[in-house]
Amino acid sequence: MSIERILVADDEESIRWVLSKSLIKKGFQVDLAEDGNQALSRFSSNHYDLAVLDIKMPGLQGLELLKQVQEEYPETLVIIMTAESTMDNAVAAMKNGAYDYLTKPFDLDALDAIILKAQKAAEVTEQIGHLKEELQEQYSFGRSIIGNSQPMQEVYKTLGRVAPSDVTVLVTGESGTGKELIARAIHYNSPRLGKPFIAINCAAIPRDLLESELFGHERGAFTGATERKAGKFEQANGGTLLLDEIGDMPLELQAKLLRVLQEKEITRTGGSQTLKIDVRIVAATNQNIAKLVEEKMFREDLYYRLNVVPINLPSLRKRKDDIPALVDFFLQRTQQDLGISIIECSKEALALFKRHSWPGNIRELENVIKRAALLSPNHVLMPTDFPGLLSGKGTASQDESLETLVSRKLENSLAQMDLQELDNLYEMVLHQVERPLINIILNQTRGNQVRTAEILGINRNTLRKKIKVLEIEVKRGD
């Protein structure tokens, strides 16, 4: 983040005038405030990289203002201006986290010098941040894509062609085929690699929260919004945003997303200021979006905007030649991660793998290997080390009870949320269950609310209220 937008707050008009004139001349965007309260309200609708605040103003004083800005907008650097006679205040300002202070009267060169210093510091911090992330990324992720089969070669070709540009990519494929891995590979092979890669799972986040997760919100935008929060688009600025499970995005949000993609700017929920964003979009889904479009569950215009270049990942059963290499890779990784001694896979076990249909694809293979490497007393893994595959049943996930399934989904979902920020988690989760339940029964009864209430075993009025609160659309059949 470099310094672009600056707030100047001073009750003396001449100071405001001189500062803004000089800063604007240097190419900064400048906003002005006459007192502390006005300064705070500017903050609520704009993002400032730097604020130059007079310490003595009517209403909210500079030091108090500094404290509030520090708390709510910690990314904003603050320079305090003080008159010579209040040197103690300057010390207090620095102790309270001001970036620097200026003693009045000052000449403009002094301010320039501080801004230049801040700019350099911001750039270095940013670079270090990205380097760190990148290192973490390399270590934690490995990022190797394994597989040389024909269908994977096609994937690599497309990847190599699209990665260097900003073109939008839609990655499709069954669950566990490596969609997120490919999305990361696109980012790390693009000129944006030094900038953030941010992923958001549209299916795991409750729809009531998804909008503010994507676009951010201002403090007080809704109950529970106690802090201003940057959305994923803002976080990904300059980099790449993965919109995962895009097929699960509610229709209303699809409309807003389309607008954002067209206009390349966002408005935080509850805010008025628009922010320019520069984000490369990769979307991923395991659903057939073309079919969703036909069923009017997905906007056609958004589909075309996202599907500029499609990459379809082959299921594992279509590239069984890759199994041995993948097995080796996961065995090695398991050994590294767990610090266990070398384990191999027998020919018989490999043959078993080639017969299995892998409904959970690479992820299933990875889990199966990890589990066996952990549990098996053998040095060489035998078919008996894979009882799940021997029984000929599908994966565990297909035999799961509803409760297990829900609890697993819920766990994933909660892991993505900032629980401290929520004050109505219980209700939100219940809505997620109520909405599909009511929808399904309404569909089955062709929109007959009396029948639906009966089947659900709830009062008709209760159902009517729920339909309203949950914003369920009732389609009447014949």
Residues that bind Mg ion (CB under 5 A): 179-180
- Which residues partner with 381 through β-bridges? 345
Nearest approach, Cβ of residue 180 and Mg ion (Å): 4
Q: Which residues are CB-contacts of 111 (< 8 A; sequence separation ≥ 6)?
A: 19, 22, 52, 79, 102
Q: Which does 173 bind (CB under 5 to 8 A by kind): ligand ATP, Mg ion, none?
A: ligand ATP
Q: Which does 146 bind (CB under 5 to 8 A by kind): ligand ATP, Mg ion, none?
A: ligand ATP
Nearer to ligand ATP, 241 or 275 (CB): 241
Which span sits near ligand ATP by CB under 6 A: 55-63, 176-184, 295-303, 411-419?
A: 176-184
Alpha-carbon gap, residue 447 to 467, rounded angstroms: 11
Cβ pair 219, 225 in contact under 8 A: yes
- Using rule CB under 6 A, residue 179 touches ligand ATP: yes
Q: Which does 286 bind (CB under 5 to 8 A by kind): Mg ion, ligand ATP, none?
A: ligand ATP
Nearest approach, Cβ of residue 449 and ligand ATP (Å): 36
- Using rule CB under 6 A, residue 180 touches ligand ATP: yes
Nearest approach, Cβ of residue 187 and ligand ATP (Å): 13
Nearer to ligand ATP, 92 or 282 (CB): 282
Residue type, 441: I
Alpha-carbon gap, residue 305 to 290, rounded angstroms: 13
Which span sits near ligand ATP by CB under 6 A: 171-179, 273-281, 350-358, 382-390?
A: 171-179
Nearer to ligand ATP, 176 or 196 (CB): 176
- Using rule CB under 6 A, residue 176 touches ligand ATP: yes
Is there a cis peptide before residue 105, judged by omega within 30 degrees of 0? yes
Alpha-carbon gap, residue 329 to 335, rounded angstroms: 10
Cβ-count burial of 455 within 10 angstroms (0-12 exposed, 13-18 middle, 19+ buried)? middle
Nearer to Mg ion, 252 or 411 (CB): 411
Nearest approach, Cβ of residue 208 and ligand ATP (Å): 22
State which of positions 277-296 bind ligand ATP (CB under 6 A).
286
Nearer to Mg ion, 40 or 198 (CB): 198
Cβ pair 242, 204 in contact under 8 A: no
Strands 169-172, 309-312: pairing kind: parallel
User: In the set 16, 31, 39, 178, which binds ligand ATP (CB under 6 A)?
Assistant: 178
Residue type, 344: E
Q: Which does 145 bind (CB under 5 to 8 A by kind): ligand ATP, Mg ion, none?
A: ligand ATP
User: In the set 362, 373, 381, 442, which binds ligand ATP (CB under 6 A)?
Assistant: 362
User: In the set 15, 33, 181, 349, which binds ligand ATP (CB under 6 A)?
Assistant: 181
Residue nearest to ligand ATP (CB): 178
User: In the set 36, 62, 173, 216, which binds ligand ATP (CB under 6 A)?
Assistant: 173
Nearest approach, Cβ of residue 255 and ligand ATP (Å): 25
Nearer to Mg ion, 114 or 202 (CB): 202
User: In the set 219, 317, 318, 363, which binds ligand ATP (CB under 6 A)?
Assistant: 363
Alpha-carbon gap, residue 382 to 401, rounded angstroms: 29
Nearest approach, Cβ of residue 316 and ligand ATP (Å): 9
- Using rule CB under 6 A, residue 316 touches ligand ATP: no
- Which residues partner with 241 through β-bridges? 198, 281
State which of positions 98-157 bind ligand ATP (CB under 6 A).
145-147
Alpha-carbon gap, residue 437 to 447, rounded angstroms: 13
Q: Give me 172's structure tokens.
A: 């499709």
Which chain residues interact with ligand ATP by CB under 6 A? Answer: 145-147, 173, 175-181, 286, 329, 362-363, 366
